[in-house]
With several copies, the nearest count.
Chain A
């Protein structure tokens, strides 16, 4: 080998400059392709975030039989029940709502004519439990059924959970598949571009060989060119990704109800995406050049 660093640096720099058109084409291809990958990964993380936000909203509502007497001022005893409930698998936390509280809420929810038939005495008190795994709502509901004083029926938003889960799964799958397809497409397009660029310089490679250059002597500057192009393209892609993230974050603002707000992705995960995009850029640049040049090196 014996390829001096100085030679590689000079060679890479001048070649990039003298083959501007091809350099720009390659960088553009990497940038466009990896931006798509980055954006797609980002959206996927957003969906995951939104999911975890929505999941906080899945409660199981346990009604207590209004005919069984329960203490109106639940203190220590209530605490015990709370602990017992919380120890069940998938249950994260539970809050108690007294008969009076439930009646007040029912009055608010129902229209007056319907509410008029209710009274505090006939309204059941309830425990509202947040689950760590919303899909397990049915199982949790079954477990509750044995508890003392629990009314026969345990309510949970069955239909809502199913729909939400489908949407989330589909979205997640769509963006994952999209990211993978885009990644593969990016790889194909980038390799393509590098191959074309090297094809345009095949005569140069053959002359180098005739003058006695070893394969590595020829390959290394090409690989560094590829790496520089990959890095430059990836840098653009990273900026696009970070930019999109910033824009989404900005629009999300503090509107707690907006979907974008739910999709806000924490910085570390964005950083992960960005690092991934950058690494792909470098690897594809170097490997692409090495592979692209191979057939012109076979003597």
Chain B
């Protein structure tokens, strides 16, 4: 499903965010991406979305080398990827409902599908009552849940989640993780960047650890950290 081959990415400012990373993730896997702040987790996710292109190395997603994708095909790549962004990236002028509905409208789902599916997903993340609020009128955790809802509303092949529980209390976090687990069981590949040691340790799934941009650990049924 995903293959990184000696991928290196440096930002203009000179920071090497990802250094010579090679990684294979199969279809249907559930992977935690861990590492200290600034270790390159978000950058890895941005590379998968082709929000950035690698300086060196190659990346395949669903059998395609995405650096070679022509610009007009990028949207179609992204439609197969649901993403929970670390900073949410909600559309500030759209209501909760519209934000989630947008991911369906983009792929041309008819109105009645949108009308039935969105409220269902919002209920799943516990925001049924907030459907007409604007993002600015939500608490941090509520915004994060909207982002989660938007990411999987269109049943993507690949679900990327960058710190999806950073603003959530442990109970809600567990709810979200159960949800992601359930989605994973339907065949969706799930990659989660997280700092939440409790959840990683509890779920016992594959753990990939980055440190200063380098892949330092890749462990089946892993835990958050060795010592911490």
Which residues of A are in contact with B by a Cβ distance under 8 Å?
A: 2, 4, 6-7, 14-15, 18-19, 201, 203-204, 207-215, 217, 299
Most A Cβ at <10 Å: residue of B51, B81, B83, B89: B89
Query: Shortest Cβ distance from A224 into chain B, in angstroms?
Result: 15
B44 at the interface (CB under 8 A from A): no
Cβ contacts under 8 Å, A6 to chain B: 111
Is B11 interfacial (CB-CB < 8 Å)?
no
Q: Are A207 and B90 within 8 A (Cβ)?
A: yes
Q: Are B76 and A212 in contact (CB under 8 A)?
A: yes
Indicate which residue in A207, A212, A215, A217 contacts B91 across the interface (CB closer than 8 Å).
Answer: A207
Which single member of A14, A212, A215 contacts B78 (CB below 8 Å)? A212
Please name 20 pairs of A and B residues whose Cβ atoms are closer than 8 Å in the assembled complex, sorted by A: A6-B111, A15-B93, A18-B93, A19-B93, A203-B89, A204-B91, A204-B93, A208-B91, A209-B75, A209-B78, A210-B83, A211-B78, A211-B102, A212-B75, A212-B77, A212-B103, A213-B102, A214-B72, A217-B75, A217-B106
The one of B78, B93, B111 in contact with A210, judged by C-beta atoms closer than 8 angstroms, is B78
Residue of B nearest to A3 (CB): B108
> Which B residues from 89 to 137 make CB contacts under 8 A with A?
89-94, 98, 102-103, 105-108, 111
User: Which residue, B50, B90, B93, has most C-beta atoms of chain A within 10 A?
Assistant: B93
Residues of A within 8 A of B50 (CB): 299
**Total A-B pairs, Cβ < 8 A:** 58
Q: Does B193 sit at the interface, judged by CB under 8 A? A: no
A76 to B78, CA, bound (A): 93
Which of the residues B76, B79, B89, B108 comes within 8 Å of A207, measured between beta carbons?
A: B89
Number of interface residues of B (CB under 8 A): 29
Q: Does B150 contact A (CB under 8 A)?
A: yes
Q: Interface digits, B60-80 against A, CB 8 Å rule (1 contact, 0 not)? A: 000000000001101111110
Which B residue sits closest to A19, measured CB to CB?
B93
Residue of A nearest to B85 (CB): A210
Residues of chain A lying within 8 A (CB to CB) of residue B92: 203-204
Contact in complex: A7, B105 (CB < 8 Å): yes
Beta-carbon contact of B74 and A299 below 8 Å: yes
Q: Contacts A299-B71, A299-B74; is A212 near B107 (CB within 8 Å)?
A: yes
User: Contact at B79–A212, with CB atoms within 8 Å?
Assistant: yes
| Chain A neighbourhood of B102, CB < 8 A | 208, 211, 213
Residues on B with beta carbons closer than 8 Å to the beta carbon of A207: 89-91
Please report the C-alpha to C-alpha distance between residue A172 and residue B43 in the assembled complex, in whole angstroms.
Answer: 63
Cα–Cα, bound, A209→B85 (Å): 13
How long is the Cα–Cα vector from A211 to B98 in the complex, in angstroms? Answer: 13
Which residues from B are CB-within-8-Å of A18? 93
Is B49 in contact with chain A by the CB < 8 A criterion? yes
Contact (Cβ within 8 A) B75 A214: yes
A208 neighbours in B (Cβ, 8 Å) = 91, 102, 106
Q: Which residues of A contact B79 (CB under 8 A)?
A: 212
Determine the distance from Cα of A210 to Cα of B151 in the docked complex, in whole angstroms: 11
Q: CB-CB < 8 A to B98: which residues of A? A: 14
Taking the closest CB of chain B, its distance from the CB of A280, in whole angstroms, is 29
Shortest CB-to-CB span from B153 to chain A, Å, is 10
Assess A212 versus B106: contact at CB under 8 Å? Given A204-B91, A207-B91: yes
Please, how many angstroms separate the alpha-carbon atoms of A203 and B94 in the complex?
A: 13
Which residue of chain A is the closest to B89 with respect to CB atoms? A207
Bound CA span A207–B90, Å: 7
Q: A2-B108, A208-B102 are in contact. Are A213 and B75 (CB under 8 A)?
A: yes
Chain A: CB-nearest residue to B105: A7
- What 3 A-B pairs are tightest by C-beta distance, nearest first? A212-B78, A212-B79, A18-B93
Chain B residues closer than 8 Å to A204, beta-carbon distance: 91-93
CB distance from A20 to the nearest CB of B (A): 11
Q: Of B72, B75, B103, which is in contact with the most chain A CB atoms at under 10 Å from its CB?
A: B75
A201: chain B residues at CB < 8 Å are 93
Closest to A213 in B: B106
Q: Which of A6, A18, A212, A215 has the most CB of B within 10 A?
A: A212
Complex Cα spacing A4 to B111, Å: 10
Chain B residues with Cβ below 8 Å from A214 are 72, 75, 106
Q: A19-B93, A212-B106, A214-B75 are in contact. List 13 more A-B contacts (CB 8 A).
A: A2-B108, A14-B93, A14-B98, A18-B93, A203-B89, A204-B91, A208-B102, A210-B89, A212-B76, A212-B81, A214-B106, A215-B75, A299-B51
